[in-house]
Structure formats: structure tokens, C-alpha cells
Structure 1
Amino acid sequence: MTINMVRDVIVDAFTYTLRMHGIVFLALSAKTIKYILTGYKSSSREVLHKIAIALLLNKLKICTEKSKGVLAGFYKGIYILYPAKDMYCSDATIVRSDEYCSQDLSIKLLASFMDIVSKIPVFMIDLSLWELHHEKEKLKLLKQIVVSINVIRRWLTDYHLVFVSAPSETLARLRKHIHFLCPWYMDSSPYSFIDRSRTLMLDPYAEEILSAEDVFRFNYFVIGGIVDRLYSRPYATYMIYRLHSLDVERKAIKLKGSSIGVPNEINKVIDFILRIRLGDKQMEEAIIDCMGVDDKISRIVYELKKVYRNSRDIEYSDIVEYMKLYRLPERYLKKILAKIRKG
């Protein structure tokens, strides 16, 4: 999925690091091109972003080898070269981790990169209540965590996602699905070295409502690792809050004062925050961006019933207008009508 970012802090730090080390022309090996350009046509920024993340994950290396190449892209002072004869000559070459590299610059460059890249925001997923979940819920939770790691990589690095009070069972099961570098704590110690005045717990049942200003004011966002598909757990996040005596602000993500249709999956909550903070989206737009089809249908039905007390008064044109507002294709019209009739 391609996201139009206003601020790509990863690429900003990575390109600065390359230039600082005298690398302006960066060549990609043939194998690297196949890895980087899988699935979609990438912009120069996206290519550099993916390279930076892959270097962190040790899937790619950056070597001193100079390669010939054709100019394929340019971003923030870095020229990207694809293999070709008698064209530009690179200052360094990106290769896959299994390719030969006479002198690997990766460790040196990554050390500089990590010094430069912003350390905030940080998302803290608290898994204190893992054992309360049914096995089916655990599978759902694991899936949300895997997707959350992939979401964070579209905006930041693995180090911006921290797991707190995470059982060894969760770690072992997660490693079967994805390789990751996210800090992992089996206790609540991370809470002791963060600035609690800049920490916010996102709780769907909190009385206070999150504002756009809050997204920029706080640097640490605590999210409960909770799934309640089989059993309702309305105050589970508050239980985590009390368990660790967090003493931080708690706020709920709502749309026009209501949580109906507002996504509560961990990965979507993280994506929502980052779309505002780094993607320059407004609150309402970011919520709609993160909504799934079912979320949108629930929200549209809620909005219509709020305006029309009697469902018989709802006009076809009104439904279409709300579908446009929530960017829902017309093929879902029958589902909305069925839900309205069902009451």
C-alpha cells in the first residue's frame, strides 16, 4: 500500500546519513531490484525508505563496491542507479545479505542513521492481559501485532514499537510469523523511564476525547493488547492502567463524539496516529482512511438513524451521500439497506 507522506523521517535521516558518508550515487544490484520493487511501482522516496528498513532488518547490505548504472531516481540529494554498462558510476552498492560484499558499510551507516533518526513517537503495546484471551482471540491479537509491525515500518522503524509485559509465549508465537527488532519487555519496566507527562493511554472507554493537538503533544502512546471478539471486556484497558499505576492521561478516539465505526484494532490505531502526525491528515480524514468496510457501514447506518428517527423516512439519495462521505463503493448499498431494515 502506497501512502503519500508529508514527512518521511526515515528517508530524511537515511539520505542525510548517506551524504554525510560521501555517498551520493547509490547503485542497486540486480537481486536487490527484484527485492525492492516487488508488487508495485515505487517512487524514489519509497525505494530509499524500503532500503533503510531492509538494512535495519539485515536483509540488505551497503558495500563499497562501485557499480555502473543508469539513473533511475533522485531524492533528497541521492541518485539511485539501476545496473547498466558505461553509464554513471556509484559511490556504493546495495546488495542482498546473501551477496558478496568486500567491505560492508552497513554497521557504520546504521549507527549514524540511528543517531540521527527521531526517537519519537513511540507506541507501547501492553500485553499484560494476554492470558485472559481465548485461543481464537490470541490468534486475532497476534495478527494485529504482525500488521502493526508492518504499519510501523511504513512510517518509522521497529524501534518505535515497544511491547510491555509481554509473555514469552507471545514472543515465541510471533517470531514464527515475522522477523522483527521491536524492543520486548516481559515486565513493566519501560514505564519507569518514559516521561509520563508526555505519555497517553488510548482507551476506547475513556471519558476524554483525543484531539489533533494531543497527537502532537504526546510522544508515547500506550495501547492495550486486547481483543474482545468472543467476550466483551469494556474496561480491560483501564485494568492495565490500574495494574501498572500509570498515572497518565487517558483518551478515546471518537468521530463527532461517537466511537461507532471508529477502528479499534491495534494496527489501525497506530496508523491513525501516524497519518495525522506524519501524514498531515485531519482527524476525521485519518479515521475514515483507517476504517474497514464493516466500520463504514456501521457508521453510515448510525449517522442516518441519528438524522431520521423513522427508518422509512430515509431517502436513497441520503444513503448515497453518506456513502460518498465515507468513501464506500455503491456495491455495498444493499448491505446498508439490510442493516437499516434489521434495525
Structure 2
Amino acid sequence: MYGLLAVARVQPLWVSFFRALAEAGVDVLCLPPHFKCRWELPQCVALWVLLGRYQICREEGRGRVVGVWGGVAVLAGRGEERCSWVLARRCEESLRLDFQPPEKPRIMVDLSLWHEHTPGEKHELVEQILAALNVVRGVLWDGVLWVTNAPAEFLQLLDLHARGLIHGMKIVGGLPPLSSPVVLDPEGDCLFTEEVAYSHDEFIIGGIVDKERTAKSGTKRLAQLIGVEKRCRIELRGSRVGVPDRINKITEIVLKTLSGVPLEEAILAAQAKRDRVYRLMWEIQKRAVRGPDGRLWITPEALAEANWLRAPPEEVELALRKAHAVLIRGPS
């Protein structure tokens, strides 16, 4: 379990949504057959109703209790428990729910430097934004994810990658008014902390992919173009090594931190295998000594200290090989 801060700024969307359901008189809700969900079940209900995929309908149904959230029992599958409200695609009598989803915090992916990307990088950028949407949906909803300064070509590629996607992302050709923005820049002059996260409303991520070229100081130039001065870097114990750089991973780190997860734990949870291995190589190189054979030597004790990342054994072995390091026992 993650250690949580005293008060989380962000709660899952379903918490307030199911509270609104209970206040509207919904006590038992039946799910439709084959209801698909890739997040927490109540989160899927809240999200799909908000996006118009489903409605809360005044109908009789049956099922078995799969959980109770916010005072609302949810039924699914075969069972004898009864409900008077059903989640359905369409119905004659749907519930008019008095519920306003949150507008902040806002995750903003800015595409001011879209024109500098190669065709392959543009496709990768769209894929990362779609992955960020998936992350956002696991906690909040589409409306807090903005794609700003988006050209027409982005919309064309979005349709190509996710044809028929029903979404509520805010895709705009400019930049909306900002209240307290911070640009997340790996070369930023301030350090991103829990306090920074809790004191800002807009988290701007540069829509930059440089797999086929070098985008020198790209995020700094982007920040200057959009007129945002504050640029903060995310570090892991004093270094950027091992900090994920994909848009969806940065989004995950921000939302976990706002949900009360300590920043370090949020970074570790978001790391891909590549990130952990690179950081572990760096930690090994700091603690190893050069042996007579030219390779790095490291003791089991030093290796255990290096692996505060909690990397599994196969990743530790890979990091040792990539660092050209060998494990030694006893005095060298």
C-alpha cells in the first residue's frame, strides 16, 4: 500500500458520482450483460454515463451483488436480488442526475511543436496521448485532459488510430485561460514536489517525441511559445535517470501524486522495465569498483543497496550485464 498524504486533492470520479446517485434515490443498480470494464467497476459506470454511452434507466432487473459503493448496491450476472434502476444504452425513462464532473486539475498536452516532428514521431505522439486518456479515465474523466494548439493533422491521425472513439477530451487550436500553470520539463529550473502538485491547477506536458531526431531544449522553447514561465523537473532521489518520459507516464505520476501517493512511490509505480534497468545500472555504477579485469565489481551488500527500486531478479541480472558489472563475494 502507498503511504497517503493527509488529504488527497483528487478522488476517483466514482466517489462523487455514486454519492449523487444515492442522493437521487438510486439504492440498487443493475449492470447490463457483458458489461466491459478496464478500470474499477464504479469508475466505469460513472465514466460511461458521463460520456453518454449508457444511461441510468428506471426499469426492473435482477442480479447478484458485486459490490456496494457510496451506498449504492451494484448487481450483475445471474441472481435473485432485485433492482429498480438499470444501466442501459437507451431507455424511455432515464434519470436526470444533478452531477457536475470536476474541471480541474487539468492535464494539458501542448502541440505547439507538432510541425517539427517526423511522420513517425507524430504517430507515436498520438499513441501516447491516447494512452494518457486511458490513465486519466482510471481516476477522473476525459474532460480534464486537454490537447492544446492542436493542428488539423492531429485530428486526422487521432481518427486513424482510434476510429469511432467516443471521448470528451478538450482538443483546441489555441490555449485556454490558465489560472496556475506549471510546465513539466526535464530541464526545468524548479523541482516538482508534492507541494508544487497541490498548488497548481494546470499541468502542461510538452507534446514532444524525439525518437528520430534531437529536440534540444524542446520543452523550454514550447513553454516560451505559450508564455508559461514556471518549468519544473521530476527527479527520483536527486536524478532524472529512471524517471519515465512518456506523456502517459508523466500523466500517471501527476495524478497519483494528486491522489495522495508520495511522489517517489508514484514514479516507481509508473516506471517501465527500461526505466528501472537504466536507473539500476546508474546505481550499480555509483557503488561498484573497477576490478583488475577491467569490469566493475560490486558486492551483494552494495547491490542490495542499489536496488532500492525493488527491481525483480531478472532485471537486476540485466542491469549487471548492461553495466558490465560482476557480483563478487568477500574482499576483492
Interval containing the TM-score (normalised by the shorter chain): 0.7 to 0.9
1:233 maps to a residue whose letter is A
Moved more, 261-270 or 173-182: 173-182
- Indicate how the Cα distance of structure 1 residues 340 and 72 shifts in structure 2: closer, same or farther if over 3 A, else same: closer
- Indicate how the Cα distance of structure 1 residues 230 and 329 shifts in structure 2: closer, same or farther if over 3 A, else same: same
For the pair 1:8 / 2:1, whether they are aligned, the reply is no
User: CA offsets, 1:90-149, max 9 Å, x none?
Assistant: 231012x2xx522233xx22xx22x2x332110111001111111221122111111000
- Indicate how the Cα distance of structure 1 residues 21 and 56 shifts in structure 2: closer, same or farther if over 3 A, else same: same
1:321 is displaced (CA, Å) by 4.4
Matches of 1:57 and 1:129 in 2, distance apart?
A: 30
Match runs of 1:206-225 below 5 Å: 206-225=188-207
Q: TM-score, with normalisation over the residues of structure 1?
A: 0.84
Size of the aligned set, in residue pairs, is 313
2:69 maps to a residue whose letter is Y
Where does structure 2 lack aligned partners over 5 or more consecutive residues?
A: 326-332
1:71 is displaced (CA, Å) by 2.5
1:69 is displaced (CA, Å) by 3.0
1:53 is displaced (CA, Å) by 0.9
1:8 is displaced (CA, Å) by 3.5
Instruction: Give the aligned CA root-mean-square deviation in angstroms.
Output: 2.3
SS at match of 2:170: coil
Residue aligning to 2:256: 275
For the pair 1:118 / 2:102, whether they are aligned, the reply is yes
Q: TM-score, with normalisation over the residues of structure 2?
A: 0.87
SS at match of 2:17: helix
For the pair 1:59 / 2:43, whether they are aligned, the reply is no
Structure whose residues are more often helix by fraction: 1
1:209 is displaced (CA, Å) by 1.1
1:20 is displaced (CA, Å) by 2.1
Residue aligning to 1:24: 27
1:316 is displaced (CA, Å) by 4.1
Matches of 1:118 and 1:187 in 2, distance apart?
A: 22
For the pair 1:128 / 2:128, whether they are aligned, the reply is no
Matches of 1:187 and 1:292 in 2, distance apart?
A: 32
1:70 maps to a residue whose letter is R
SS at match of 1:269: helix
User: CA offsets, 1:230-272, max 9 Å, x none?
Assistant: 21213111111111222x3110001122111111111000100
For the pair 1:330 / 2:321, whether they are aligned, the reply is no
1:338 is displaced (CA, Å) by 2.1
Residue aligning to 1:253: 234
For the pair 1:137 / 2:121, whether they are aligned, the reply is yes
Identity of aligned residues (%): 27
Matches of 2:82 and 2:317 in 1, distance apart?
A: 59
2:44 maps to a residue whose letter is K
User: CA offsets, 1:16-54, max 9 Å, x none?
Assistant: 22112211111112243xx24x7xxx8xxx211111111
Match among 214, 218, 241 for residue 232 of structure 1:
214
- Indicate how the Cα distance of structure 1 residues 4 and 260 shifts in structure 2: closer, same or farther if over 3 A, else same: closer
Matches of 2:126 and 2:32 in 1, distance apart?
A: 35
Residue aligning to 1:48: 42
User: CA offsets, 1:308-341, max 9 Å, x none?
Assistant: 3536332244334433x21221112332122212
Matches of 2:199 and 2:312 in 1, distance apart?
A: 36
Matches of 1:18 and 1:245 in 2, distance apart?
A: 41
Matches of 1:315 and 1:135 in 2, distance apart?
A: 47
Assess if the C-alpha contact under 8 Å between 2:285 and 2:296 holds in 1: no
For the pair 1:92 / 2:77, whether they are aligned, the reply is no
Residue aligning to 1:295: 275
2:32 maps to a residue whose letter is S
For the pair 1:183 / 2:170, whether they are aligned, the reply is yes
SS at match of 1:230: coil
Assess if the C-alpha contact under 8 Å between 1:166 and 1:186 holds in 2: yes
Assess if the C-alpha contact under 8 Å between 1:288 and 1:326 holds in 2: yes
2:275 maps to a residue whose letter is D
